[in-house]
Structure 1
């Protein structure tokens, strides 16, 4: 089996190892390399495998299979050669920060509520945790503050390999049943958890822990978190966004909530005004329609969905048997078609077939979208009506 240097010293960035095997991976334009010793961490514990180089050849992923560490390289290596390996330390260290921060947050949630972290994903931009119980935003803010106190205390992060007898007496979190030697990650006062992945040596190296999102998920809550450099980048982006919004609204940053509320109220007033104007416009349009019309096929450009339905209903109220309103949206037309005394579903089906559309509804009204030219749609609409 490969000697795993990351278990001896997680800060090993470069090393030398002998190539035991190198096999081309069919269909992947790459190779699977096994060494006698490696500092590359394979995917596990919710954390991606390391990337870096072996003998100058890029390693794009690392996994584990049947106890072996598999390096997936972009080029071949010679079996028996001794090569120098180098971890992409920026990527690895960021993952170590996120993973240690996850332990602290999960430990605090477990200690306070008894919930388990039942789903953990450590991506290269964010980290998500799924807890199997509800947590309010106010409660999570308190947990976040307590987690950052662990960072400020700069506590040592211990890696333990307790013997079976000691393990039986130890309280620790674990997502799976473990066979053989169990590796425990212990942050004193905050968490003790079985985990195979890499972590920082002390909590101060995390830098900061920031929860950036929460959502209800499968009866519990999904928490999105960033830490370290990722937290700094998140702060910088939010600051840039705030300054840009501040300039657009001509308001100081601490006045933005009130400025946005005013804008929303103004928009709501404008929406009401637009609805009233559309109704008045529709009334004027309907007055121009002959009362003895057999049908109306109207093409509009300045209506919303409610305006389309309002215009259709007003035409039907005037006594026109069938009315279709079509609204241009990019390359397509949205439509609403209605009748007070006929089932117009078959008409809609024919339109959809002819113009690659989709939609449907009830006998008295259908709606959907289709693709075509106004002249062609109008002619086919008239043809269907005349056949019926």
Structure 2
């Protein structure tokens, strides 16, 4: 069966009737996590909403005023998942989310055109494709595509778009002479048809269930974004079609305008300006690290030169790193001093070092780790790691200081 959406991909509304409505559940990813929704599976006499298939995602839309959250194929019918029940036998109006539908039409027809010309021009066959939410990919059966080939391919593609080449859809019986047997390989043995053929006049003829534009001019423009290495000696080609190209250009334009404001230079000078900034930042970072190391040595020496220094030293510094803390610990005699050092946000994440007599450090280390909700390890009188929260730093400091009093009092 060919659905109404396949007979006329440009139809936005359609009146049909409800054949069945059954309670169901739908598992969908929301913000990276799978959630289960309770609702109903609705079968219609016919539908203007495309069920997922042929590499193309399903349509969204409404049945009456009830949102359709998912459309899937079941045999020769389509199942619409909705949140509210619909009465069996009632006549309903089905509306398609046209912006989503037309976007899918552009990307799918664009894929057919790109694949056809990639094979015609260079012999690169398409082995699979993905219609993504923001950009789409074609997997080509080749180790690589040269930049010059990519340019030739893009020019040839857009030339066909400018030529207003018609795109026709035919429904053929499986024994029709117009059906190439090689194209039907992979169909079930009991498949009875009809077979749906999408023809880009003079360019390509392919068996396909998806929704397509009626003329290549409706693609507007195609932009090939580039290639990257794929699986098993394949190459992935990333592309945008039609309205996605316009959105991409608008996004890049906004970024360019922001960079003009930030860098105080014209677009042609952005790369040079950023390169100079990066070099300046690296120099500043190198200088800052050197000063930080010198500061660590001075902090340790200042403590050692204090006649009333005692046997405990603690320090927190917002800006610092592991090396900063290790320099301090190495400069101070840890056999005679318990040292607790932290760097990072006062009540946020950070780094810590606990140093001193190996027995005391081994005993205190796990407690410090637990109080700072961190991860770390230690040996030979040095325990260090990451703290998920420094909110209890003061408590840890008091614990280590109290331990040092008992430790060195016993030694005396």
TM class by shorter-chain length?
0.7 to 0.9
Determine if the alignment matches structure 1 residue 281 to structure 2 residue 310: no
CA separation of 1:59/1:338 partners in 2, compared to 1, >3 Å: closer, same or farther?
closer
- In structure 2, the partner of 1:194 is 207
1:59 matched residue in structure 2: 68
Partner Cα distance (2:231, 2:363) in 1: 41
Q: Distance in 2 between matches of 1:236 and 1:109?
A: 28
Pair 1:94-2:103 in alignment: yes
Structure 1 stretches of 4+ with a deviation exceeding 6 A read: none
Give ranges in structure 2 of 5+ residues lacking alignment: 26-35
- Aligned CA RMSD, in angstroms, stands at 3.4
> What's the counterpart of residue 38 of structure 1?
47
Q: Structure 1 CA distance, aligned partners of 2:95 and 2:304?
A: 82
- Aligned twin of 1:368: 386
How far has the Cα of 1:189 moved from its partner? 6.0
Taking structure 1 as the reference length, the TM-score comes to: 0.83
**Structure 2 partner of 1:349:** 366
Note closer, same or farther for the CA distance 1:361–1:137 as it changes in structure 2 (3 Å cut): farther
Query: Which residue is equivalent to 2:154?
Result: 144
Structure 1 unmatched ranges of 5 or more: none
* 1:133/1:221 contact within 8 Å kept: yes
- State how far apart, in whole Å, the 2-side matches of 1:97 and 1:178 are: 26
Residues 154 and 347 of structure 1: is their aligned pair in 2 closer, same or farther, counting only changes over 3 Å?
Answer: farther
Matches within 5 A, 1:105-116: 105-110=114-119, 112=122, 114=124, 116=126
The change in CA–CA distance for 1:358 and 1:15 in structure 2 (over 3 A counts) is same
Task: Indicate how the Cα distance of structure 1 residues 280 and 21 shifts in structure 2: closer, same or farther if over 3 A, else same.
Answer: same
Mapped contact 2:63–2:92 kept (Cα < 8 A): yes
Note the 1:2-41 alignment, pairs <5 A.
4-25=3-24, 28-41=37-50
Measured in 1, the distance between the counterparts of 2:128 and 2:357 equals: 57
Task: Say whether the 8 Å CA contact 2:59–2:96 is kept in structure 1.
Answer: yes
Give the aligned partner of residue 31 of structure 2.
none
Number of the residue aligned with 1:332: 348
Please point out which of 251, 255, 271 is paired with 1:257: 271
| SS of equivalent residue, structure 2 residue 131 | strand
Deviation readout 1:359-386 (Å, 9 max, x if unpaired): 3366556321142333212122345666
Shift of 1:342: 4.1
Within 1, Cα distance between the matches of 2:403 and 2:226? 53
- Measured in 2, the distance between the counterparts of 1:189 and 1:319 equals 84
